[in-house]
Structure 1
Amino acid sequence: MPWLLLFGAIGAEVVATISLRFSDGFTRLVPSLITLAGYGTAFWLLSQVLKQGMNIGVAYGVWAALGVALVAAVGALFLGEPLTWLQVGGIGLVIMGVLALEMGGAH
């Protein structure tokens, strides 16, 4: 169950971050409201994950790594933002680091 909540938190954070891009500095109402709701939902879900006992380093690491990867992918695929092979490699290294955190904490 904590993993499902964590993936929900990641999804909410990605939606909020993409909406932040469209909020035009919080001058557009609908994207601004989606941003606030998305970040609020993301933090609430993350708090529930931690309440259920997931290690904070693993939870935050997975959230950060997948969030960065997904936002970068959405930016490149749908928003016309450039993504170089060096950046892709860096994202891969971040994900590998999170995997190392998870595997290092396995009993």
Structure 2
Amino acid sequence: MEEVDDESVDVVVCTLVLCSVANMRRVLQEVRRILKTGGASYFLEHVVSDPSSCTYFLQHVFEPLWYYLGDGCMVTRATWKDLEQGWANFLTCGPHSVQKCDRGAGPGAFGHAM
């Protein structure tokens, strides 16, 4: 995203993307770089389930196939951890059900940061 100027974007929307990128921290750095002061980043991502759940087991069993069919999607990522570390003034994030948005992938994280 080098062609986008620093602090030139008001809003960044990231929907079911961070599960597929090779370097999630680099993507979050780029989002911070291009956002204007006072800008906002909104996200909706599916994440790994609670380790004590059946969904967690199934996510790990089916991840190799899901990765192939989902164009590099990794359903076993704890995406919210990188989001929390990447945003000093993090506003909202946590595991919530987004099954209506992405059936079969399990729980998700949604929220925004400024």
State the TM-score bracket (shorter-chain normalisation).
Answer: 0.3 to 0.5
Write 1 or 2 for the structure with the bigger share of strand: 2
Write 1 or 2 for the structure with the bigger share of helix: 1
If the length of structure 1 is used for normalisation, what is the TM-score?
0.32
If the length of structure 2 is used for normalisation, what is the TM-score?
0.31
